[in-house]
Chains A and B, each alone.
Chain A
Amino acid sequence: QSALTQPASVSGSPGQSITISCTGTSSDVGAFNYVSWYQQHPGKAPKLMIYDVNTRPSGVSNRFSGSKSGNTASLTISGLQAEDEADYYCSSYTTSRTLYVFGTGTKVTVL
């Protein structure tokens, strides 16, 4: 089971919006609405930001939103803030024996 494909890096200025893509296959992203996104600051544990494609857990800013089209999911961060600078990983449930597959990770830089 290959990892989901994400851009290595995305950057934006404070206040701007950025979008991170997550491309999988018809066996994972395209097959289920169990796509999630995690934020990870250096040396810290991942934090769930979006689940079930577009649902925000309690306490997560509404500047974070998710969507999906076919085999590609996306995370959009609007009104970019310095604290959003981190690594972001997507994840999906999969029909393979691996059960879960993560993305390659995207480093978000706030210019």
Chain B
Amino acid sequence: EVQLAESGGGLVQPGGSLRLSCAASGFTFSSYWMSWVRQAPGKGLEWVANIKEDGSEKYYVDSVKGRFTISRDNAKSSLFLQMNSLRVEDTAVFYCARLHSTSIVFDYWGQGALVTVSS
């Protein structure tokens, strides 16, 4: 059974940093692109970042470029999101998601980690 479990969320002041982790199990992690998708309270979904199977390619939504860094450790089946210079508008539940093997869609999602940016 595919499982994705996020951790590392919490309350941080504007301008601060936070690192999210996602522990994957039930599939060969190193064979899949992975993503982060976020959802602000009461709002819709927003794609944040993608990373290729071997970490050689990374893509970001414009609003987080230069502030967020996606990475992975295939040996530990783990995905990460380093978030720096956090803004109030980054407040959201951050989901770790797996990209489908034969399509460009998110086929499995974790339960999410809440990040609150507030003074």
Contact = CB atoms under 8 A, between A and B. Distances in A.
A98 B61 contact: yes
A54 interface: no
Given A45-B109, A46-B95, A99-B50, 10 more contacts: A34-B104, A34-B105, A36-B105, A38-B106, A46-B106, A46-B109, A48-B100, A51-B105, A57-B107, A104-B44
A47 B50 CA distance: 19
A51 B100 contact: yes
Contacts of A93: 104
A92 to B, nearest CB: 9
B45 interface: yes
A91 B45 contact: yes
A46 B107 contact: no
A45 B110 contact: yes
A45 B47 contact: no
Interface in A34-50: 34, 36, 38, 44-48
B50 A98 contact: no
A64 interface: no
Contacts of A104: 44
A55 B108 CA distance: 15
